[in-house]
């Protein structure tokens, strides 16, 4: 019986989820509030570019088009087009219901919350599906405002965390935006404007941007492009973070080589690793420190940070472990040097009629427009999706902890539901892809979940690990310290606690590796040799596979199947295997296991 499955959101994560579940034989329904795919990439500031180099933000099975060959950091339009063409290439559009906003999700299974709280296993059985439990999804058509309730057995939430619910700082009475004569808007509203509209808004206006991350620097640079020295843009930051002019450091050393390789992975402790690796991480900690200093020294040399009092108090390693580094827009510090961007630090600020008062100064900073580039409340948005107050409480957890997701995908106490795209990483594309692969292995029962209490313990261990490296700057949703290699390895390592019976552990499909290939050129050699282009022997005319009534396949296609399909294919069949190497003997052994004598 086909299981019903809904995906909410057709941004990057929702599309990847859709592609992978379709491959596993599901027919999902994807609810998307907007008219098109691509999520956040539909609305960014004009100058926003990809912050990763394009190789690290590339689908494992769909490369960037040749037209983007020359570019290291594609523009936001190029990223959007790339995501759109992924949806077209894998024929995902027919699964999507556009203009369909999910208002809430209600889990109905006939059990009381007390009974559900007493479960030992996820959803009571540890299985992805439970015949008694269904999600009731309230969907609003954004054109007609009509509402309809749909029922699904499994939900994948891919609603993103950088939209819709802005993080607006709180101010004491009479010190907030209400007393200001000018205009206050969030970066979300600025990004939603078309490029010309945004330029018109800031033209010949005194602008203050509050914030220190990517949106803040991008918007400040755009204001400076429009107004130059005549109306300088002031950028106010509470905490200064390390910002990079490019992803290369001293002598062209790529940042990704220092932080996102198998070697870099040895420098950090990870829960569940062997004693030897943990000793190694301790022994290598001076090297971790040295790498951090190497990056800091380059940035201090390259950028006039000292001159403008913009040297961060936090180490580069802590910043990157908390996902708090960002790429500067082009010529940012040239604009600061010429005076069209003014940088200020302030621990506290309040509004007055004329503008802002910072650092308790008596003279206000007079301005016409204040743009709050203060981020989003992704956890509030996530919470609002659930109708049940108990699930609302479970999903977000206390303010000082992470959103408690096992493998950053599954909440131990919310059944038949997965979340993709909440956690932030160095490359969110690779992270979402990896998680979708893990999830679809679970959905097709190729791996089993531990008990709820073990999952909760695991979540806590990883959270403590994140706090260890992020320190005071630990950022709830950041898994940067684990980086892609770590995730892949740590997913691999799950085999040890999934148990021998899990077919995932001896999966033919080497799924995590396909993701690492993008980051480490040397690994490409490993796949070029044994995958992609099979060696098919040549036969004279009328003596090749075309004259044979049975089925002929290469070991590559056999290995690409999941275990169940492969077993079904060979069971009770006469199989001939041509070859004398590893694949041949392995497949012969599997045929013998399946068919005996």
415 binds ligand FAD (CB under 6 A): no
Residues near ligand FAD (CB under 6 A), total = 33
Tokens of 148: 């309809």
CB of 49 to ligand FAD, least distance (A): 8
Q: What are phi and psi of 126, to 5 degrees?
A: 80, 0
CB of 469 to ligand FAD, least distance (A): 19
10-27 core/surface letters (b: 16 or more CB in 10 A; e: else): bbbbbbbbbbbbbeeebe
Among 82, 162, 351, 438, binds ligand FAD (CB under 6 A): 162
Tokens of 272: 């569940």
9 binds ligand FAD (CB under 6 A): yes
CB of 488 to ligand FAD, least distance (A): 16
Among 40, 370, 372, 409, binds ligand FAD (CB under 6 A): 40
d(CA 251, CA 59): 29
Residue among 235 and 591 whose Cβ is closer to ligand FAD:
235
421 binds ligand FAD (CB under 6 A): yes
68 binds ligand FAD (CB under 6 A): no
22 binds ligand FAD (CB under 6 A): no
CB of 104 to ligand FAD, least distance (A): 9
Q: Is 593 helix (H, G, I), strand (E, B) or coil?
A: helix
The piece of 129-137, 152-160, 285-293, 307-315 that touches ligand FAD (CB under 6 A) is: 152-160
The partner residues of 496 in beta bridges, in order of sequence, read none
Residue among 157 and 267 whose Cβ is closer to ligand FAD:
157
51 binds ligand FAD (CB under 6 A): yes
User: Of 157, 161, 160, nearest to 17 (Cα)?
Assistant: 157
80 binds ligand FAD (CB under 6 A): no
Residue among 370 and 430 whose Cβ is closer to ligand FAD:
430
For CA atoms 362, 363, 365, 368, the dihedral sign is positive
Q: What is the DSSP string of 501-533?
A: T-GGGG-SS-HHHHHHTTT-HHHHHHHHHHSSS
CB of 511 to ligand FAD, least distance (A): 20
The piece of 26-34, 259-267, 283-291, 441-449 that touches ligand FAD (CB under 6 A) is: 26-34
214 binds ligand FAD (CB under 6 A): yes
User: Of 562, 510, 507, nearest to 531 (Cα)?
Assistant: 510
Check if the beta carbon of residue 14 is closer than 8 Å to that of residue 8: yes
Tokens of 461: 């261990």
CA distance to 56, 92, 156, 328, 484, per residue, from 63 (Å): 11, 17, 25, 26, 18
Tokens of 206: 């005194």
Specify the DSSP class assigned to residue 245: S
User: Of 227, 224, 284, nearest to 258 (Cα)?
Assistant: 284
Question: Residue 457: how many CA atoms within 13 Å on its side-chain side?
Answer: 7
Question: Residue 275: how many CA atoms within 13 Å on its side-chain side?
Answer: 0
CA dihedral 41, 167, 35, 100 (to 10 degrees): 140
The piece of 129-137, 156-164, 279-287, 578-586 that touches ligand FAD (CB under 6 A) is: 156-164
Among 5, 6, 14, 486, binds ligand FAD (CB under 6 A): 14
50 binds ligand FAD (CB under 6 A): yes
44 binds ligand FAD (CB under 6 A): yes
Specify the DSSP class assigned to residue 147: E
Q: Is 326 helix (H, G, I), strand (E, B) or coil?
A: strand
CB of 218 to ligand FAD, least distance (A): 7
Residue among 51 and 514 whose Cβ is closer to ligand FAD:
51
Site string for ligand FAD, 93-112 (x = CB under 6 A): --------xx----------
159 binds ligand FAD (CB under 6 A): yes
Residue among 12 and 478 whose Cβ is closer to ligand FAD:
12
11 binds ligand FAD (CB under 6 A): yes
CB of 549 to ligand FAD, least distance (A): 47
Check if the beta carbon of residue 74 is closer than 8 Å to that of residue 54: yes
Find the angle CA(41)-CA(42)-CA(43) to the nearest 5 degrees.
Answer: 90
CB of 60 to ligand FAD, least distance (A): 15
Residue among 52 and 437 whose Cβ is closer to ligand FAD:
52
Binding residues for ligand FAD (CB under 6 A): 8-14, 31-34, 39-41, 44, 48, 50-52, 57, 101-102, 158-160, 162-163, 214-215, 421, 427-429
């Amino acid at each position: 019986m086909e299981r019903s499955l809904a995906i909410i959101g057709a941004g990057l994560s929702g599309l990847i989820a859709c592609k992978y579940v379709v491959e596993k034989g599901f027919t999902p329904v994807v609810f998307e509030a907007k008219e098109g795919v691509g999520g956040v990439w539909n609305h960014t500031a004009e100058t926003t570019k990809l912050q990763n180099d394009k190789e690290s933000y590339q689908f494992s099975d769909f490369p960037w088009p040749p037209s983007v060959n020359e570019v290291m950091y594609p523009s936001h339009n190029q990223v959007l087009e790339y995501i759109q063409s992924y949806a077209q290439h894998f024929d995902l559009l027919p699964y999507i219901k556009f203009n369909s906003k999910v208002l809430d999700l209600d889990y109905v299974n006939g059990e009381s919350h007390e009974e559900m709280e007493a479960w030992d296993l996820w959803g009571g059985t540890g299985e992805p599906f439970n015949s008694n439990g269904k999600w009731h999804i309230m969907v609003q058509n954004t054109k007609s405002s009509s509402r309809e309730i749909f029922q699904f057995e499994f939900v994948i939430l891919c609603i993103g965390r950088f939209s819709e619910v802005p993080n607006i700082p709180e101010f004491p009475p009479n010190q907030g935006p209400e007393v200001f004569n000018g205009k206050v808007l969030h970066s979300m509203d600025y990004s939603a404007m078309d490029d010309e509209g945004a330029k018109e808004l800031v033209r010949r206006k005194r602008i203050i941007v509050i914030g220190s991350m990517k949106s803040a620097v991008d918007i400040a640079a755009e204001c400076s492009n429009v107004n130059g020295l005549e109306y300088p843009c002031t950028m106010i930051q509470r905490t200064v973070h390390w910002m990079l002019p490019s992803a290369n450091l001293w002598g062209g050393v790529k940042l990704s080589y220092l932080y996102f390789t198998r070697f870099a992975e040895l420098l950090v402790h990870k829960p569940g690793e062997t004693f030897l690796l943990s000793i190694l991480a301790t022994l290598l900690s001076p090297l971790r420190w040295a790498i951090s200093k190497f990056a800091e020294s380059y940035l201090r040399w390259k950028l006039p940070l000292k001159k403008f009092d913009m040297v961060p108090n936090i180490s580069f390693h802590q910043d990157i472990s908390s996902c708090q580094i960002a790429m500067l827009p082009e010529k940012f510090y040239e604009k600061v040097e010429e005076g069209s961007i003014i940088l200020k630090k302030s621990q506290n600020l309040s509004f007055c009629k004329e503008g802002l008062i910072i650092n308790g100064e008596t003279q206000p900073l007079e301005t016409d427009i204040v743009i709050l580039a203060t981020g989003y409340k992704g956890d509030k948005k996530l919470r609002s999706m659930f109708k049940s107050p108990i699930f609302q409480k479970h999903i977000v957890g206390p303010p000082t902890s992470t959103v408690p997701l096992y493998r950053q995908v599954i909440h131990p106490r919310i059944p038949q539901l997965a979340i993709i795209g909440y956690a932030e990483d160095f490359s969110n594309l690779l992270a979402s892809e990896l998680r979708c692969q893990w999830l679809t292995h679970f959905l097709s029962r190729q791996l089993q979940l531990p008990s709820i209490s073990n999952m909760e313990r695991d979540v806590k261990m990883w959270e403590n690990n994140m706090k260890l490296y992020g320190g005071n700057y630990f950022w709830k949703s950041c898994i940067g310290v684990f980086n892609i290699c770590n995730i892949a390895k740590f997913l691999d390592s799950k085999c040890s606690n999934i148990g021998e019976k899990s077919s995932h552990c001896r999966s033919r499909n080497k799924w995590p590796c396909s993701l690492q290939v993008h980051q480490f050129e040397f690994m490409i050699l490993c796949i070029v040799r044994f995958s992609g282009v099979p060696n098919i022997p040549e036969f004279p005319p009328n003596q090749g596979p075309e004259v044979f009534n049975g089925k002929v396949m290469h070991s590559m296609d056999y290995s690409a199947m999941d275990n169940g399909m492969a077993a079904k294919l060979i069971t009770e069949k006469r199989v001939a295997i041509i070859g004398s190497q590893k694949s041949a003997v392995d497949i012969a052994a599997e045929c013998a296991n399946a068919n005996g004598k």
